[in-house]
Amino acid sequence: MAAQTQFSGGLENAPVDAAHAFRAAMTVMARPGDIRVLSGSEPPAPLSVAAGTLLLTLCDPETRVHLAGGIDTAAIRNWLTFHTGAPLVSAAKADFAVGTWDALGPLNAYRIGTPEYPDRSATLIVECDRLEQSGAILSGPGIKKTARLSLPGIPALQGNAMLYPLGCDFFFTCGNRVAALPRSTQITSEA
Amino acid sequence: MTDQTEFAIGARRDWMGLLARAPDDTLMTLWDGIETRPSFDWLRRPEIGSVMVRGRTGGTGAPFNLGEMTVTRCSVVLQDGTVGHGYVQGRLKPKAEAAALIDAMMQTGAADEVQARLLDPLQQHMQAVKSTRAAKAAATKVEFFTLVRGED
């Protein structure tokens, strides 16, 4: 492989790799608390492998993406544009937003959908320093009894769950691992 | 500096357009004649899709959708980091690969050789085909004119 260039690190076999990644994304969203491995792309730093692969899988010229904080570098902008053609927009217009929990900021900046179209909401991809099955207690659709997931900002996420059927959905990425939290999941902080 | 960049973009637009429209067999024959090919890595493997071709009446009217056409695209990077993009009509993946490599080579020291041995002959061939077709069409042109207006 030549020197890392601005566009390198896309999916090697896009149809197959994207299908595997989409399956992993569907599974974690359907079973909150599950952690799956998500790999295939090599995005420019500081974007994690899982977040980069998710973006390549889910984004196309019709999904608006918001890059928050330290993720918003020229290298990542060029890389994402080359591979997906997704337009880059502000938080208020985004279909997908990527960044650390702190960089993403207060959740009321993002679209939560409308009563007629609850799907017109943002999906946030949160880059985490750690991702493990401990901490907040989750219950709801897709969870047999309870599940646990290390969530950042539990009060804000509880507030988001109260908006159901509106609200945002979340992917949490750390390295090449991914977990998800749909708006339908009830969150209890650890007693 | 601005002029240079604009000149470079204009020149690149010319050869990209030429490669996009080039007939399959002519381009591949000329490409086979280039011995020194750089080694490269894929940025995007050849993929087939369709694009909407838009036109303007008389070149100045409001844009309208003319129709869809099949295109194949790919992107390569040479060992020195030069990036080449290939967008060609049709479904021939080797042609897209050739177009991307030619685009990359046109940005390197090999530009003059590629221009002289591939792009110039290609342009002449396409121009010749176009002229022949235009000449055939012109031969069938019917001129209407009035000998007697019959005003009386």
pLDDT tens digits, one per residue of A37-88: 998 888 888 899 999 999 999 999 999 999 998 889 988 998 999 999 999 9
Residue A38 near residue A81 (C-beta atoms within 8 A): no
What average pLDDT score do residues A15-24 get?
93
Task: Indicate the residue of B44, B47, B77 with minimum beta-carbon distance to A2.
Answer: B77
For residue B41, being part of any structural domain is answered with yes
pLDDT of B142 strictly over 90: no
- Closest among B113, B132, B130 to B23, alpha carbons compared: B130
Taking CB atoms and an 8 Å limit, are B41 and A14 in contact across chains? Answer: no
Chain A to chain B Cβ contacts (< 8 Å):
30
Residue of B39, B83, B107 for testing the chain A interface, max A β-carbons within 10 Å: B83
For residue A31, being part of any structural domain is answered with yes
- Measure CA A154 to chain center: 16
Mean pLDDT of chain A: 90
Q: Tell me the residues of B at the A interface, defined by beta carbons under 8 Å apart.
A: 41, 43-45, 47, 75, 77-81, 83
A49 vs chain B: nearest CA distance in angstroms?
Answer: 17
Give me the domain span that covers residue B97.
2-139
For residue B152, being part of any structural domain is answered with no
Taking CB atoms and an 8 Å limit, are A8 and B79 in contact across chains? Answer: no
For residue B151, being part of any structural domain is answered with no
The whole-number pLDDT of residue A2 equals: 37
Please state the length of chain A: 191
Question: A104: domain CATH number?
Answer: 3.40.50.11310
Pick the residue with more confidence: B58 or B150? B58
**Structure confidence at residue A5 as a pLDDT band (50, 70, 90):** low
Give me the domain span that covers residue A138.
14-183
Taking CB atoms and an 8 Å limit, are B43 and A1 in contact across chains? Answer: no
User: Residue A43 has what DSSP assignment?
Assistant: P
* Per-residue pLDDT tens over the stretch A140-151: 999 999 999 999
Residues of chain B with C-beta less than 8 angstroms from the C-beta of A13: 45
Distances, alpha carbon B104 to alpha carbons A4, B12, B46, B72, B86, in Å: 17, 10, 15, 17, 9
* Per-residue pLDDT tens over the stretch B53-82: 999 988 888 999 999 999 999 999 988 888
Q: Residue A141 phi/psi, 5° resolution?
A: -55, 135
**Structure confidence at residue A191 as a pLDDT band (50, 70, 90):** low
The whole-number pLDDT of residue A32 equals: 93
* Per-residue pLDDT tens over the stretch A150-188: 998 899 999 999 998 999 999 999 999 999 999 999 999
For residue A191, being part of any structural domain is answered with no
For residue B147, being part of any structural domain is answered with no
The whole-number pLDDT of residue A4 equals: 53
| Total domains present in chain B | 1
The whole-number pLDDT of residue A153 equals: 87
Give the SS3 label for residue A169.
Answer: strand
For residue A8, being part of any structural domain is answered with no
Q: What is the ipTM of this complex?
A: 0.70
The whole-number pLDDT of residue B3 equals: 56
* Per-residue pLDDT tens over the stretch A110-130: 999 999 999 999 999 999 999
Task: Report the distance separating Cα B151 and Cα A14, nearest Å.
Answer: 74
For residue B38, being part of any structural domain is answered with yes
What average pLDDT score do residues B98-113 get?
89
Mean pLDDT of chain B: 88
Taking CB atoms and an 8 Å limit, are A14 and B45 in contact across chains? Answer: yes
Residue of A7, A13, A84 for testing the chain B interface, max B β-carbons within 10 Å: A7
Q: Is the dihedral of CA A126, A129, A130, A136 positive or negative?
A: negative
pLDDT of B130 strictly over 90: yes
Task: Report the distance separating Cα B40 and Cα A115, nearest Å.
Answer: 52
The whole-number pLDDT of residue A3 equals: 40
What average pLDDT score do residues B1-20 get?
78
Taking CB atoms and an 8 Å limit, are A82 and B41 in contact across chains? Answer: no
The whole-number pLDDT of residue B100 equals: 93
Nearby residues of A41 by Cβ (< 8 Å), 6 or more positions away: A9, A10, A11, A17, A49, A52, A53, A56
Angle subtended at Cα B33 by Cα B32 and Cα B36, rounded to the nearest 5 degrees: 90
Residues of chain B with C-beta less than 8 angstroms from the C-beta of A11: none
Residue A176 near residue A48 (C-beta atoms within 8 A): yes
| Total domains present in chain A | 1
Q: In this structure, what token pair is assigned to residue A73?
A: 């570098």
pLDDT of B109 strictly over 70: yes
For residue B149, being part of any structural domain is answered with no
Could you report how far apart the first and last alpha carbons of chain B are, in Å?
A: 70
pLDDT of B31 strictly over 50: yes
Structural element, H or E, at residue A181: strand A177-181
For residue A190, being part of any structural domain is answered with no
**Structure confidence at residue B110 as a pLDDT band (50, 70, 90):** confident
Residues of chain A with C-beta less than 8 angstroms from the C-beta of B86: none
DSSP per-residue string spanning B74-142: EEEEETTS-EEEEEEESS-HHHHHHHHHHHHHTTSTTHHHHIIIIIHHHHHHHHHHHHHHHHHHHHT--
Task: Report the distance separating Cα B60 and Cα A13, nearest Å.
Answer: 42
